[in-house]
Structures are given as structure tokens and as C-alpha cells.
Structure 1
Amino acid sequence: MASWLDEPLATIALCWRVERCDGVAIGLTAHDLDLVVDGFIYRAAPGMTPSAIQRGASFDAESMDVTGALSGAAISEADLLAGRWDGARVALLAVDWTDPANRQSLGEGTIGAVELKRGVLTAELRGLAAALEAPVVELTSPECRAELGDRRCRVAMAGRRRFARVIAADGAALTLDADEPLPGGWAGGRLRWISGANSGLEDAIGASSGAVVTLRRAPRFDAMGALVEVSEGCDKSIATCAARFGNAANFRGEPYLPGIDLLTRYPGA
């Protein structure tokens, strides 16, 4: 343990480094003044307080909560609700505020559940051991469990993405200045916002028809005039995988495995 932690007069300040999935990183400290640690500025946020921190050598999933008032310049309520901070990496460290070169790492993890009550933010930080809670074996399913274009699907996506601009918006329905490559070709795909207030966010496409795409949820912010990247989708059926993509060999499902619906069938059905 660092010797500066044993001094009679404690000069300890807690610091958080938060890195979003899009590369944006901010630093916050419970100290009443800004601190610079390894060239990175940690802005003063005295209201930020963590729950009890426990460290051990077991494989139990570690988690803790951080509570504090929202800061519009750092983490805004709008960005939290929009999902910009989902899955962000968080590193917690203790620093000697008289000499920030003295520091002690307390742990790291990712942002899990987030709650907002009367302007007060409570974020759950899930440690690395939380990954051990994931299922080891996948459940069977008649539909493909891979995502179009990922390492298990292996469909090349280079020619299946295109840029377009939003020329009209009506709730979750967006009209683009480009048509889909084939009827329903964008359904089940992804729409990534390149410019505008939604920049950096992604949305799932529920349906498409011509130049109109219907998202599974309405855009968080104003969408008019924004540049977007639209990717083709897949309905995850073996028929589409074989006929449209010629990729049945990589189909990650069991379309011919009898399920519980076998009990509801009757002769001649």
C-alpha cells in the first residue's frame, strides 16, 4: 500500500476517468479543485460519492454505485437518456491532491444500470468479473443468433452500407434522399448518425420501404438534415441467409430442430 495513505493528515481525493464507446473521455474528482493526473484533467465534482469499495481475490462479480448531481458540462441528463454513456469504461483511483503523481488504482469496470431521481444520478459500475455471469452455452433457436456482417456471420458489408441524408422526419419514420437496394433491404439493419444532434448514436431499423425507414424508437434529438449511414439488415431466417446472402454454411441457428410448438401440431396441419 502507498505510504502517503498512512499519513496522519489525509490528502486523498477520489477520481473517475470515464471513456465512452465513441472515444470521448472525461475526468471527474470529488476534490473541490481540478486535478491533473498524467496530463489528464479531472474536473472538480465534489458531489460525486461512491458506495463502499470492496476488493478481493474471489471470482464473485464486483459492482458498486456512484451517486452525484448531474453536471451539464460533463454528463448531461439528455446524453444519459440518449444512451451515449451506455457501456462506458470507468476507472476509479485515489490521488494525493497535494501531489497528483501519487495515486492508487481502486478498480475499473463499465457503466451498467443508470437511475435519475430529481437531478441526482446513480450509476452502477460493473467490474470485470461480471462477465462470468454470462451464459456459457447458447440456447437453440430457429433464427440466426449472429449479427449480419460479424465474425460469425462473415457476410462482407463493404458494399451493403451507404450514406444518406434525412429530408423528412415523422416520429420514428425517416425519409432519406436514397432508396433501399431491394424491397425491405434495410429492415433489421442499423442506422448510424454521422452529423447533427444525434451524432455518434445508433438505432435499429424495424422496417423500410423505398426511401422511408422506420426506426424501433424515435430519434432522441432533431433529425432533419442529418447525415446517416444505413446498413442492410437480415430477418435471420435460413431462407434469407441462403437465397439473398448465399451464406447458409454460416447460419447460426437450428431451423429444423423440433421445438415446443411440436406439441401443438396435429395430423394434417
Structure 2
Amino acid sequence: MAGLDRGFAAHIAQGVTTLCHCWQVTRADGAVFAFTDHDMPLVFNGVTFRADTGLSARALAQASGLAVDNTEALGALSDDAIREDEIEQGRFDGAEVQAWLVNWADPAQRQLQFRGSIGELHRAGASFRAELRGLTEPLNRPLGRVYQKPCSAVLGDSDCRFDLTAPGYAETRVVETVAEAQYFRWTAFPGYEEGWFARGRLDVLEGPAAGLWGMVKRDYPEGGQRVIELWQPIRGAVAAGTRVRLTAGCDKRMETCRLKFNNLLNFRGFPDLPGEDWMMAVPRSDGANGGGSRR
């Protein structure tokens, strides 16, 4: 019973207990969802844990090493709880999860059993299955610099340090025409050269898909219109009249960093690394051996 409140430990030691599980899911946008497998709602920490969601959980496996703590939450989709469209839109991806073992007769007696995040989330008919990952999961990510010719930074991050709010690098517009939530067209788009937003992103600022975004695959003129094509459709309804924000893209080349963004000081690539031809070069008795092709 190490680590348990004395009253809670005494309750468990009785043999006949009034225990249940409670789960709290906090999404990146701040929305909070709370559930319990008890047959009545419970309240603690200022949160009401609902009992009518059909949520349940499998046994929790935890380890002391860096192996991923894992369990699964199983539940039913409900319009006023976890909705199918929000799962499809990825709004629960990476959400924080906390799980308690609670004495439902006295919710002040409880133990936090799990804290982590949602990993893979699958939908099947009117139900869902969510993989839960422990706090050690981020420690399994590889860290360190990658030695490559292109820049390894993400445009606008702490390594790049470029201010994307600078004039000319972000544009907020109202959608004129959209097809399949992937092809956006405007009749007039002055001030930006062709391809300016390629490899950038499109953020939806309002409507049912507010908060969702997509990476720009192509930015090109066609039939007197400016077309912004995304790699994948926005996973939500985007209609004409919706405000979106376009952010300039970067192809990670040193020339682009210098000429388009004037940010060469923070370039994180190694443009002078020798190529594979140079590494495979063999000694020659005549002329210079630079590793290039012979003509």
C-alpha cells in the first residue's frame, strides 16, 4: 500500500470495497472530458466525471524502464461526449490523460494510477479504441543534430527564429472557392509570386474546422485564378466565406533562407557537405580528382 493515503489504504484492506475508475482527457485546445465506470456521476478537483458514456479501460501495464506504459480506453461515441467527427479531425491526438482509482463512496479517497497521452485512436462503428502512452514515451525520441545539406529547423521555431508575423509572410483571406477541402481558389491574389506558399500551411480560423490546418503542396495560377493545393484535405467542413490564414513555405535550401527570408544567420543546414560521388572517388594518376563525372 506504499504511496496510498492511509484512509484509502484502510478501505482497500477491508476486502469489501467501493472502488471505480475515473478518467480525465484534456485536449490541446483546452476542452476537458471526464468519465467514470461507476453508475453515478462523481465530482472531485472541480470536475464532474460522467457515468453515461460507456467508457471502460483495460488493465494498465507499467514498467520502471523506458518501455512504453500502455493501456487502452474503450468507449462509445456520443454527440454530447466524444464525437465521431472530432476523432476524424484529430482533435484528440496527443490529448493529456489522467486515470484515478476512486472510492466512489468518498471521492476524496483516490489514487492517480496513470498520467500520459493518447497515442493511436481508432474508430469502429459507434465505438472507439484509444491507445494510452505513459510519460516516458517522449524519452524514446531520437535527439541531436542531423548533418545534412538542407536546413533541419522548422520555419519559425526556436532554431529558425524567423518571425512569421512579419509583413509579407502570412496572409489572412476569406475562402472564395473550395473543392474537397483540399483545393482553394481565389480570383485575385496580388503581392505574392507563384509558389510563395508552397511547403507552407493553411490554418482554418473559424467555422466547424476552426483550429485545423494543412500543409500546402502546390501554389500555382490556373485559369486566371490562384490555386492553393494541400497535401491532404482538411478533416472538417470548410465553406466559402470561411477565414483562413496562409503562411509562406520554405524548401530548406540556403538560397531560399538568404533571399526569401533574409535569415541566413540562423540557417541550420550544412550546404558544403560533400556528396556521395566525392565519397566514392578513387585515386587517379592524371588530372584533378574532384569526385565529379568524367566527360
Q: Which has the larger radius of gyration?
A: 2
Match of 2:253 among 207, 230, 237: 237
Which residue type is aligned with residue 267 of structure 1?
A: S
State the SS of the aligned residue for 2:101.
strand
**Alignment correspondent of 1:162:** 171
Structure 2, unaligned runs of 5 or more: 282-290
Match of 2:219 among 208, 226, 251: 208
Q: Distance in 2 between matches of 1:81 and 1:138?
A: 34
Match of 1:247 among 263, 276, 292: 263
Deviation, structure 1 residue 149: 0.8
Alignment of 1:92-103 (within 5 A): 92-103=99-110
**Alignment correspondent of 2:114:** 107
Q: Distance in 2 between matches of 1:13 and 1:39?
A: 18
Q: Distance in 1 between matches of 2:30 and 2:272?
A: 43
**Alignment correspondent of 1:195:** 206
Which residue type is aligned with residue 162 of structure 1?
A: E
Which residue type is aligned with residue 186 of structure 1?
A: F
Alignment of 1:44-59 (within 5 A): 44-45=51-52, 47-59=54-66
Moved more, 234-243 or 168-177: 168-177
**Alignment correspondent of 1:81:** 88
Q: Distance in 2 between matches of 1:147 and 1:95?
A: 43
State the SS of the aligned residue for 1:44.
coil
Match of 1:33 among 32, 40, 47: 40
Q: Distance in 2 between matches of 1:259 and 1:43?
A: 60
Q: Answer yes or no: is the 8 Å Cα contact 2:171–2:246 preserved in 1.
A: yes
Is the alpha carbon distance of 1:247 and 1:268 closer, same or farther for their aligned partners in structure 2, counting shifts above 3 Å? Answer: farther
**Alignment correspondent of 1:181:** 192
Is the alpha carbon distance of 1:7 and 1:43 closer, same or farther for their aligned partners in structure 2, counting shifts above 3 Å? Answer: same
Is the alpha carbon distance of 1:219 and 1:178 closer, same or farther for their aligned partners in structure 2, counting shifts above 3 Å? Answer: farther
Deviation, structure 1 residue 252: 1.8
Q: Answer yes or no: is the 8 Å Cα contact 1:29–1:35 preserved in 2.
A: yes
Q: Distance in 2 between matches of 1:45 and 1:6?
A: 29
Q: Answer yes or no: is the 8 Å Cα contact 1:198–1:221 preserved in 2.
A: yes
Q: Distance in 1 between matches of 2:243 and 2:209?
A: 10
Q: Distance in 1 between matches of 2:18 and 2:277?
A: 65
Q: Distance in 2 between matches of 1:217 and 1:251?
A: 28
Q: Distance in 2 between matches of 1:89 and 1:128?
A: 10
Q: Distance in 1 between matches of 2:188 and 2:113?
A: 50
Q: Answer yes or no: is the 8 Å Cα contact 1:142–1:254 preserved in 2.
A: yes
Q: Distance in 2 between matches of 1:267 and 1:260?
A: 12
Which residue type is aligned with residue 20 of structure 1?
A: R
Moved more, 149-158 or 118-127: 118-127
Is the alpha carbon distance of 1:7 and 1:114 closer, same or farther for their aligned partners in structure 2, counting shifts above 3 Å? Answer: same
Deviation, structure 1 residue 21: 1.0
* Matched residue count: 269
Q: Deviations over 1:159-187 (max 9, x none)?
A: 22232111111221112587363322211
Q: Distance in 2 between matches of 1:125 and 1:23?
A: 19
Q: Answer yes or no: is the 8 Å Cα contact 1:238–1:248 preserved in 2.
A: yes
Q: Answer yes or no: is the 8 Å Cα contact 1:165–1:177 preserved in 2.
A: no
State the SS of the aligned residue for 2:273.
coil
**Alignment correspondent of 1:125:** 132
**Alignment correspondent of 1:6:** 13
Moved more, 159-168 or 42-51: 42-51
State the SS of the aligned residue for 1:90.
strand
**Alignment correspondent of 1:42:** 49
Q: Answer yes or no: is the 8 Å Cα contact 1:114–1:123 preserved in 2.
A: yes
Deviation, structure 1 residue 99: 1.9
State the SS of the aligned residue for 2:12.
helix
State the SS of the aligned residue for 2:86.
helix
Alignment of 1:10-29 (within 5 A): 10-29=17-36
Q: Distance in 2 between matches of 1:82 and 1:46?
A: 20
State the SS of the aligned residue for 1:18.
strand
Is the alpha carbon distance of 1:75 and 1:67 closer, same or farther for their aligned partners in structure 2, counting shifts above 3 Å? Answer: same
